[in-house]
Amino acid sequence: MNEIPQTMALQCPSLTLYAFHLRNSINQGLQPTVSAAPRLWEQLVDLGNVLHIRELQILRQKLICYEGNRYFPEAEDLWGAEYLTLLENNEPSLYFQVPLQAGGLELQGLLCPFRLHDTYAIDLTLCSQDTLTLAQLNYLNPQNLILQNIQASLGKTLLLFGQPKEAQKDNYQVLADACVAQLCPGKHSIHLVDTGSLLGNPIFEYESGLTNPANKLHILVWLKCHDMSSNHMDRVAETLLHLLWCRHKILYVYQQSHWCVIQAKKLYGILEQYRNNYSQVSEKENRRSHLLNLHAKLQQLELDYTNYLDDLTEHEKTITINYINYKTYLEKLEKLPATQLSFCQDFLQYVGNKLQRQIQVDRDYLGMGRDRLQRLKATVRESITTEPVASEPWSGQGSGEQECKSALALQKELHYYGNNTLKINMPGIPRDIYPRLRQALSDCDQFKNHGRLFDFFDANEPLQQWCDDLPEVDNRTERAEKIISYLVRNPRSDGQNNVLILLCLLKDQIDPIKQLYQTLSGLLQELTPILSGASSNSNVVPFPTQTNINSQSLPKAELALEANPKGEPMSSIVADAKQLNCARSVACVSVPQIVSDNLKKIPTGTGWLVTPNLALTCWHVIEARDPRQDSLIRESDLQKQITNSTFTFDFTQPGEGIEYGIERLEHKDVNLDYALLRLRDRTDSPLKKWGFLKLDADVPLTLKTQFYVIQHPKGLLQHRSGGVFVKEASNTKILHNSPTEPGTSGAPVLNAINFRVVALHNGERESEKLREATTIKAILADIKQHRPELYDEIVAVQNPNQE
């Protein structure tokens, strides 16, 4: 690549930078993003300043994750923008003109900023309509700024695209080599990885030898030697972005896993040292004190060591997921005509053979260390118990017993925090309402300063509990944003919604003839059906009116009475325990979608035990077909799906849970959308330990009937949401308003009073913004009619006294 034939040229060349930057990490704590998340956007603004590109200079104003010039990523979450363009008004891209280059060259530019789940991504393209010689190619990377200024934490890929001149057609690789050498002068470590064909045109992959993903250079050169349809090119652009995203995530996460291994190995070295310390304790005088000290250290070591091991497991999973996704995107690309990307296939092999295997080996090796650590800790604990108590305390902080207790207390606290997701009620303020809500709140006098707001929260009992942690900020608008975010993140335990309560209380302190009163009333009406879990009927007033909520005009006892006018159940510890008990019988259902004997995806739903080994879920979950548009499943595919499906119980922590296979499909009904399955028991973990849910077929449902839905939304950890019965959809189905997500199908809809299942959740009725569920009564009647022996089996378990 050293000698560059300067006679070579590209017609209409373009240079695209695909950059991927980490937005979220498991280590971000309570912050909405990692601290360096906005760096990518700041770098683009800097680029705009240096190159005098106005559109980039004012980029912040065009991104939804900025409010003015302030980074405000919460806006993305509130607007549900996890896989979207980040430009305002859903604009797909931002066009700009690059000021004239040396030689009077005109360059056009295009920026597409995305959020891809936990990643910020950009597609930044500079292109020319002219024919550029190799020496002129550098104009596409003005002052080398594209490469130098944009540093993305997950990595970046450069794609050079252009049409070679006729004379060069016999030696495209020489041309590609020359282009890379020209674009990256002095980077001699860049080497050609492989060549391939994309839409019948040659493509070349280059890579630098650096290991840090942020610095590593990955370059593609795609030469347009034949015409391509614009439709195909659009598909390439979209799929390539996702393919490269997966690639960079895999490499980044592998590097992270490598760091974990190094840290864990260091701790392993310390373990050896502690083992020696233990053997020397017997020779010391204050043995108990030394043992307690050693035990505490071992506990800390175990915590750190386990954390690294857990991280390693998480990294391995992330790589596996991205490996599957990469493969899917690659298959999509290779379905395009005349496309053969062997270097992508090689990358997959590299991930499978090298990276994943290496992590496995490391994990196995470090797993032995954990066993040794636990054995040593047990031995030390044993020695402490046998050591006479008369030994002096090991430190001034209290006895060893106390230390052990505090360690246990810490563990409990961590455990509680880990399960906190169970309490989240999936709130969401629609993006069209949010700006009005923010404006209205900031217009209220109570938002003038932090002190007034604090006083307001403190003076109103329904909000008192939240006044101590109110976020402090300098201006009204920001205060309103932070308060909304704070209240959404910290829901109430009584099922009511803090945003609505705040609106109601604020409204009641304003003169009804004022415009702000009308605004707040309007917002209250709009948000009530969305946030309160109450009926969608706009006439329903879910919260007390002025006379019964204004704490300044009423005695406290009356306020407490009036704060719950519908007699809704309060959350009690016993109720929480019952919910957790019910949650044990609920599983995440994974069904491999097999189409004509080919595995396509692994969709998930929710299922639950109706007897110790019979489980109910939706038929469409087991069928793994979309009832909206898929035809009925073929019998052979169905059998394979059933054989390979799993129910995972106790899926309440990442990486945990116990899987059960399906012995057979006992019965199903397409119209009622349910499937009754017999699960395959395990001797090491019998199904009966998960219990089963009690059914309530004859409960009279009224507008006051409250529901809980225990579910695995998006195949994630178990969640619970709450809502109420709204109306009957038919003889066999009901509509409710509990928040649900894809992945909830098959979840039990429990009566909040007696924790018995009244219906099986099916899906969303979009026209009414309500959720549909098949009643247990209808399901039992159908089973009784078609499979009486199964009905008897269920009844015998559900009502043991009846027999």
Partner 1 sequence: MPTGASPLYYPEQPPPPSRLELENSYFRVKLHDAQAFFQANFLQNADSVIFSSSITSSFQPNSPTQSLHKISTIQRNTPCRLGISTNLTEWLPALPGASLQINIKYTVLQGRPIQKFIDHMQQADLVAKLSLRPDWAVAVKVTNIVGKLLSFLAQEGSQQDLFSLVMDFNVADLRTGYYVVCGSHSDEVWPAPQFLRIDANGRLMERSSDISLSRLSYAVIQVLGLKRLGIEEFRDESWWQLLQTVKENILDTDSTDELERRKLLGEWYFALKQVRESARKRREFLDNEIRDIIATAQREVEQKLRPQVTAEFFGTDDELPYELQDILGIETEQDLQKLVRDYQDALEVSQKLLADYNL
Chain positions 707 to 736 lying near partner 1, rule: CB under 8 A, are 713-715
- Under the binding rule (CB under 8 A), the answer on residue 91 touching partner 1 is no
- Under the binding rule (CB under 8 A), the answer on residue 600 touching partner 1 is yes
Residue 718 has phi, psi (to 5 degrees) of -65, 135
Q: Closer to partner 1 by CB, 235 or 492: give it.
A: 235
Q: Closer to partner 1 by CB, 568 or 772: give it.
A: 772
- Under the binding rule (CB under 8 A), the answer on residue 745 touching partner 1 is yes
DSSP per-residue codes, 617-682: E-HHHHHTS-TTT--PPPHHHHHHHHHH-EEEES--STT--EEEEEEEEEEEETTTTEEEEEEPP-
CB of 576 to partner 1, least distance (A): 25
- Under the binding rule (CB under 8 A), the answer on residue 765 touching partner 1 is yes
Out of 354, 357, 601, 689, which residue is the one contacting partner 1 (CB under 8 A)? Answer: 601
Find where tokens 């330990």 sit: 689
Out of 322, 535, 593, 775, which residue is the one contacting partner 1 (CB under 8 A)? Answer: 593
- Under the binding rule (CB under 8 A), the answer on residue 689 touching partner 1 is no
Piece of 12-20, 90-98, 130-138, 589-597 that binds partner 1 (CB under 8 A): 589-597
Out of 285, 511, 597, 766, which residue is the one contacting partner 1 (CB under 8 A)? Answer: 766
Written as six digits, the tokens of 783 are 């089973």
Backbone conformation region of residue 514, classed left if phi is above 0, alpha if psi is from -120 to 50, else beta: beta
CB of 90 to partner 1, least distance (A): 13
CB of 637 to partner 1, least distance (A): 11
CB of 631 to partner 1, least distance (A): 3
Q: Closer to partner 1 by CB, 262 or 670: give it.
A: 670
CB of 402 to partner 1, least distance (A): 46
- Under the binding rule (CB under 8 A), the answer on residue 322 touching partner 1 is no
Backbone conformation region of residue 89, classed left if phi is above 0, alpha if psi is from -120 to 50, else beta: left
Count other Cβ atoms within 10 Å, centred on residue 192.
17
Out of 772, 778, 782, 798, which residue is the one contacting partner 1 (CB under 8 A)? Answer: 772
* Cα(41)–Cα(90) distance, integer angstroms: 17
Out of 305, 743, 749, 750, which residue is the one contacting partner 1 (CB under 8 A)? Answer: 743
Written as six digits, the tokens of 250 are 């895999």
- Under the binding rule (CB under 8 A), the answer on residue 229 touching partner 1 is yes
Count other Cβ atoms within 10 Å, centred on residue 464.
12
CA 724 to chain centre: 27
Q: Closer to partner 1 by CB, 302 or 764: give it.
A: 764
Q: Closer to partner 1 by CB, 123 or 772: give it.
A: 772
Q: Closer to partner 1 by CB, 39 or 625: give it.
A: 625
- Under the binding rule (CB under 8 A), the answer on residue 421 touching partner 1 is no
CB of 629 to partner 1, least distance (A): 6
CB of 648 to partner 1, least distance (A): 14
Name the amino acid, one letter, at 301.
Answer: L
CB of 616 to partner 1, least distance (A): 15
Q: Is the torsion defined by CA of 404, 405, 406, 409 positive or negative?
A: positive
- In Å, what is the CA distance from 750 to each residue of 159, 633, 759? 54, 30, 7
CB of 225 to partner 1, least distance (A): 14
Count other Cβ atoms within 10 Å, centred on residue 616.
24
- Under the binding rule (CB under 8 A), the answer on residue 620 touching partner 1 is yes
Q: Closer to partner 1 by CB, 270 or 595: give it.
A: 595
* Cα(788)–Cα(803) distance, integer angstroms: 15
Contacts of 735 (CB under 8 A, 6+ apart): 725, 726, 727, 728, 729, 765, 768, 770, 771, 772, 773
Strand partners, 721: 709
* Cα(501)–Cα(69) distance, integer angstroms: 31
Q: Which residues bind partner 1 (CB under 8 A)?
A: 227, 229, 332, 593, 595-596, 600-605, 618, 620-621, 624-632, 670-671, 673, 713-715, 740-746, 761-767, 772
